Structure 1
């Protein structure tokens, strides 16, 4: 995880504050929408209740490498 954030500069943080709406949408999607989708997926496939936490936690965790690549592509 250190290697992902090591290339950040002050300009990156300034840009994040300037683009607060897309950042907020991504935050809400990551911490609200994705766990809800995990629960819905568990319900659709009939997963036993004791595995629900695994589905929710797996949906909750971001893919750090993919997010860095997407940031690189979008500049």
Structure 2
């Protein structure tokens, strides 16, 4: 059964990648993180972080969009 809703996550401060007062990170859950990340990079985004395994069966990746906004994808 699929669920609709919003998931909220919090990051610890990271002076290099997530400084206090920096860009919020908007994340989308995707079926194939590698394919979604490649599509975003081909569309003009720049690598920011990952892909990283953050818990068993869950990976994340983040890219920086052309206007500086960090966009994340998460999934298997």
| Structure (1 or 2) with the greater helix fraction | 1
TM range (shorter): under 0.3
TM-score between the two structures when normalised by the length of structure 1: 0.27
Report which structure shows greater RCO (CA 8 Å, sep ≥6). Answer: 1
TM-score between the two structures when normalised by the length of structure 2: 0.27
| Structure (1 or 2) with the greater strand fraction | 2
